[in-house]
Structure 1
């Protein structure tokens, strides 16, 4: 929210994750339409160096494996600011991004990435295929969870891809969400939370068959799903059976396996509040790093406001001068950390902790605690020659 909105009422929405007892898809009700979130979007993928590198490796791997022929068409859905397709452009591969947010799609075009500003639905998929032809590879990274019309979106992916082509989807793995208590992944942009089993079922509804699965470290633990049109898919790779077996062993192929998530969320909340209250009692200055969507869930659930977290900083200039929704914590440029020299920095995009700790180690030249709240609260001291690599773990109440 902007400063001029601080004196006005702020809308709130319930946030309750639910499980379908039939298909075992974790989901929330679609109380906010995508048009309310993605037309003018605050997230620019390219501000994460590690995510850009992740995308570069993906494009190189797809070319090397032949799943993306050098003379084939690559289409990415929810292509953001061109963080991935820029690597296809550099490799001389014909590509097209489909991105609903006008501001970030404009940034992609300025970077030389052909981009259509649109939501992917079945009419859009028909029009893209008619104009550009079928895609050898369709990529949908961190968008499959953002779709209220899941079956229609999946059919649209099938329309975009060639009859002998490939679809690659990356999405956060619900196995990690449940087992590690990653409850802050639940927010109103995300309508679904997938296991391999529920994703396999969703893909099948749109005429796509799951062929291969890769387990990724990104976003606190993700899955890369490789699918093909059902008529040409053949037998799945052993990776699919291994992933399904791991989920089954964790109990996630039955309703009962999801019961521990609420208790784990309470443990994370208690540990973080214990730490912040102790720091306030000691007179320490504690600030945040990052202003991601998941941070809003964490801050609101824990009731953390500027009395406990003075402000947060973010590399994205679009967010500067704004405030976190609900908790109204100011967002500043990273330079503020250098100027203020706070005692501790809480990393809200904890899934990028390695990248962020490395950045802060290069820029902060004094002893400061870097606090990562999930999956268990841990504190890394940087800038202290005598204790530069020590990591401490807190205990929750």
Structure 2
């Protein structure tokens, strides 16, 4: 039996992807194929309803100096984080000498706007490469993992924070107990802890099963976040649905009794209850969709290759490792994947060892079909690569079902 990382209740498995590689480990052709693998299985806590992975990957294997993801890599995400910063400046960072701390600040895309407004700030980022990019832009960064000891050191050096913010980070962290104790040690009375992460409700509704990978240890709902907040003396006071990354929720948390919860909180929890998001049967149906999608995608690729048509992938995303490895898609079905991230180009997709090429080579020549792994940036990519469609190219998407655009 697996124990819940939040409440130590029983975690019931609802899907198992088997052995998977680390989703952001891009080896060269010359490097050994004996990469680190782990069991990617996901379950539901029968006590607190937290959805979580059954096996934890050591954090320093995922978040290290050469971590390749850049938050500013998408125009849409740059705009999203700039607006987030402006909202925080207008609502929470308005007092005398306000202080904002970001957990997992990556390349500083959000804190850069805070910095430009002249507001004290600090990013806490364990991956040295992206932290250095932020520093070059004048953002103040501490290269470290955020936990209780880190928070106490920051509080001693910089004083309390008015806002502690995180985006696509808290769901990565199995040790939520240390996170919340750290927030309690660092947060000013009346301050807020704000974080946004992929939403289980959207994953179930849209079959976006590839959101399940090593870095996403937790898949949150408003109900499970409210429960973990209460456990550490906090309260979920607001929720806001976000359209980015296939559907996220921004959670606002304050110390218990300091703020009245918004009506949006009970409304979203009631919706989750009506949809059965805390029921094992609902989540097991997600598993049925996973197997159907993977079988349909492999069948389509085999048919296209069998007819002599050229196919490629677009976007060497972390989540695409779940798809290619569980479905058994390798270079025979997908000879290459195009991507814009310099650190990935010339390397191989995790596990499947599909070569990664620069997106600048996408049209030299265009393939007949392209699998859109970066489906969360569909609008932006289709606008950028409109010449592909103009010359007869067809996009393949696989969520919520396999179809050709």
Matching of residue 100 in structure 1 with residue 126 in structure 2: yes
Q: CA deviation at 1:150?
A: 1.4
Match of 2:379 in 1: 354
What are the Cα deviations for residues 182-222 of structure 1, in whole angstroms up to 9, with x where unaligned?
Answer: 21111111211111101111122232210010011111111
Evaluate the alpha carbon distance shift between residue 174 and residue 8 of structure 1 in structure 2; reply closer, same or farther with a 3 A threshold.
closer
**Which structure carries more relative contact order (alpha carbon 8 Å, separation 6+)?**
2
**Equivalent residue for 2:345?**
320
Separation (CA, whole Å) in 2 of partners of 1:149 and 1:320: 33
Q: What SS does the corresponding residue of 1:291 show, helix, strand or coil?
A: coil
The within-5 A match list for 1:137-176 is 137-176=163-202
Query: How far 1:363 sits from its partner (Å)?
Result: 7.3
Give 1:146 shift.
0.7
Tell whether 2:52 aligns with 1:56. no
3-state secondary structure, aligned to 1:321: coil
Secondary structure (helix, strand or coil) at the match of 2:34 reads coil
Mapped to 2, the partners of 1:370 and 1:8 lie a distance apart of 30
Structure 2 partner of 1:80: 106
Partner of 1:393: none
> Where in structure 2 are the equivalents of 1:1-397 lying within 5 Å?
1-40=26-65, 41-64=67-90, 66-69=91-94, 71-233=97-259, 235-361=260-386, 366-380=391-405
Q: Deviations over 1:18-76 (max 9, x none)?
A: 11111111111343111111013111111111111100111112223x22226411111
| Deviating 4+ runs (over 6 angstroms) | none
Secondary structure (helix, strand or coil) at the match of 1:140 reads strand
Q: Does structure 1 conserve the Cα–Cα contact (< 8 Å) formed by 2:366 and 2:388?
A: no
Contact 1:69/1:136, CA 8 A, preserved across alignment:
no
For normalisation by structure 1, the TM-score amounts to 0.91
Answer yes or no: is the 8 Å Cα contact 1:154–1:205 preserved in 2.
Answer: no
Check whether the contact 1:152–1:206 (CA below 8 A) recurs between aligned residues. no
Cα gap change, 1:7 to 1:38, in 2 (>3 Å): closer
Report if aligned partners of 2:41, 2:55 keep a CA contact under 8 Å in 1. Answer: no
Contact 1:79 1:99 in 2 (8 A): yes
User: Residues 328 and 144 from structure 1, CA distance in 2 versus in 1: closer, same or farther, beyond 3 angstroms?
Assistant: same
- 1:335-364 Cα offsets, whole Å, 9 max, x none, are 111212111111112111111111111677
- Separation in structure 2 between the aligned mates of residue 145 and residue 30 of structure 1, nearest angstrom: 14
Q: Tell which deviates more after alignment, 203-212 or 292-301.
A: 203-212
Deviation at 1:226? 0.8
Q: Distance in 2 between matches of 1:241 and 1:108?
A: 38
In structure 1, the residue corresponding to 2:364 is in which secondary structure? helix
Deviation at 1:366, TM superposition (A): 2.1
C-alpha separation in 2, matches of 1:8 and 1:43: 22
Moved more, 48-57 or 157-166: 157-166
Shift of 1:268: 1.4
Q: Distance in 2 between matches of 1:79 and 1:362?
A: 35
Structure-2 separation of matches of 1:188 and 1:367? 36
Partners of 1:176 and 1:138 in 2: CA distance: 25
Which runs of 5 or more residues in structure 1 are unaligned? 381-397
Post-superposition offset of 1:264: 1.1
Which whole-Å CA distance do the structure 1 matches of 2:137 and 2:339 have between them?
A: 22
Instruction: Give the distance between the partners of 1:228 and 1:7, measured in 2 at CA.
Output: 47
Deviation at 1:289, TM superposition (A): 1.1
Mapped contact 1:166–1:226 kept (Cα < 8 A) = yes
Task: Give the Cα separation in 2 of the matches to 1:136 and 1:6.
Answer: 46
Question: Is contact 1:155-1:207 (8 Å) kept?
Answer: no
When residues 378 and 89 of structure 1 are mapped into structure 2, their CA distance, relative to the original with a 3 A threshold, is: farther
